[in-house]
Amino acid sequence: MRLALPWRSESPPSLPPEVARYQQASLALEHVVQCLTEKPRCGVLDLGSPTAANLELYSRHRATITFADLHRFYAPTRVRGTSSRRFNESLPSTPMQVDVILAWDLLDYLSLEEIAWLGQSLTHHCAPGAIMLALVSCQGLIPETPSFYTFLDDKTLLVEESGPPVRPSPALSEHALLGSLHDMTVKSRFQLRRATVEYLFGWA
């Protein structure tokens, strides 16, 4: 006797979504590299994920470096409530004066209130003439967490998105950003591809 087994059709396993990796032209990088070159022991605060290439660049210019992957340290505390004290605890305590802050796309992942807390905290550590580079999306979807940024040269970034675009961009306007960053001014504003604006902020 032969038993007929039920026929089953199994769909093939789905492939993980492709993560974007691309080069991005930048105007603000020249100002960052100029600070690294001209200021002795330039104070750098990198608020993104550290990369070997960026660390090598800072070290080559004998910069004083602090890495603070702020979103990944701070985001888990949001489930227990948000406060300026809890936010400031996520920032590194550094005795150095900071000349260059690299915020990358961090501002896309903070509320305007949190951006104000960040600006207040940075003001206490900034040297005269300090600058901050920030990349702000202006429409569409963004990944769930900040992406990874690497200097290729003084005019180009390598961007590796942390995952597929799944959440709406907050589309923060320049007016809204300056309303939270009270002590800063916009030194330059550059419209990039992929619906992103590159800001170079300076302290007034």
Q: Please write the tens of the pLDDT for every residue from 109-148.
A: 999 999 999 999 888 889 999 999 999 999 899 999 999 9
Q: What percent of the chain has pLDDT over 70?
A: 88
Single pTM value for the model: 0.87
Q: What percent of the chain has pLDDT over 90?
A: 62
Residue 95: partners with Cβ closer than 8 Å, 6 or more residues away = none
In the beta sheet, which residues pair with residue 61? none
Structural domains present in the chain: 21-203 (3.40.50)
pLDDT, tens only, 149-174: 999 998 999 999 999 999 999 999 99
Q: Could you tell me which of 63, 75, 136, 137 has the C-alpha nearest to residue 103?
A: 136
* Three state DSSP letters for 47-85: CCCCCHHHHHHHHHCCCEEEECCHHHHHHHHHHHCCCHH
What is the structure's pLDDT at 155?
92
Tell me which of 98-102, 133-137, 190-194, 195-199 is least confident.
190-194
pLDDT, tens only, 95-104: 678 999 999 9
Task: State the Cα–Cα distance between residues 102 and 201, nearest whole angstrom.
Answer: 10
Tell me which of 36-45, 65-74, 117-126 is least confident.
65-74
What is the structure's pLDDT at 85?
80
